[in-house]
Chain A
């Protein structure tokens, strides 16, 4: 059974870069696409972007200018970088696998990691 685990700093200073890594275990990262989703406190889920194992990406237009995703198939990991963060980027960040058929959906999800932007 595939499991995902987010890791990275829990506290980031304003204007700096948020960096997270998702490690996939129990299966290969290949042949799937992978995503990041966040949940700000008191708000709803927000999709950040996706990446496949060829490195092809697609980002949420509202975050595109600040987001970079990458993948390391040798480590079964993919990563997120979000630049110039502000307090509005404080959220629980989830990584998830995209499963495809006629369309795509997120399953499974990682447990999530709370990242706080504060000085």
Chain B
């Protein structure tokens, strides 16, 4: 079974940069996407195919994927970015989600 590991939490000051990692065997050979989930709300896609932003995703969100690690970067973090973030990838026609990272804007 494929596993995607994320840090449980990341803290960032307003206006600073937050980086969330997602680690999995040869993840760079697959496509990664990222979802933002705020309390009581459903997940929202913020990055797909490693680095592409859906319309509606602010430009401060960016993604990369290489080697064993995909990274979601939030530049100029705002209070509204406080949420849980999940990476997701496919392996053998099965979906795997990362363990999730809680981003706190302090």
- A105 within 8 Å of B by Cβ? yes
Among the listed B30, B45, B54, B95, which residue makes an inter-chain contact with A47, where contact means beta carbons less than 8 Å apart? Answer: B95
Q: Do A44 and B94 contact each other (CB < 8 Å), given the known contacts A94-B43, A105-B88, A110-B42? A: no
Query: Are A106 and B88 neighbours in the complex by a CB distance under 8 Å?
Result: yes
- CB neighbours of A94 from chain B (8 A): 42-43
Which of these, A47, A50, A60, A109, contacts B42 with CB under 8 Å? A109
Count B interface residues, CB 8 Å: 24
CA distance A104 to B95 in the complex (A): 10
Count A-B contacts at CB 8 Å: 60
- Complex CA gap A73/B15 in Å reads 47
Q: CA separation between A89 and B98, bound complex, in Å?
A: 19
Residues of B near A46 (CB, < 8 A) are 97
Beyond A94-B42, A94-B43, whether A102 also contacts B49 by CB under 8 A is: yes
Query: Are A107 and B45 within 8 A (Cβ)?
Result: yes
Q: Given A101-B49, A107-B45, A107-B54, A58 and B98 touching (CB < 8 A)? A: no
| Contact status of A112 and B90, CB under 8 A, knowing A47-B96, A47-B97, A103-B49 | no
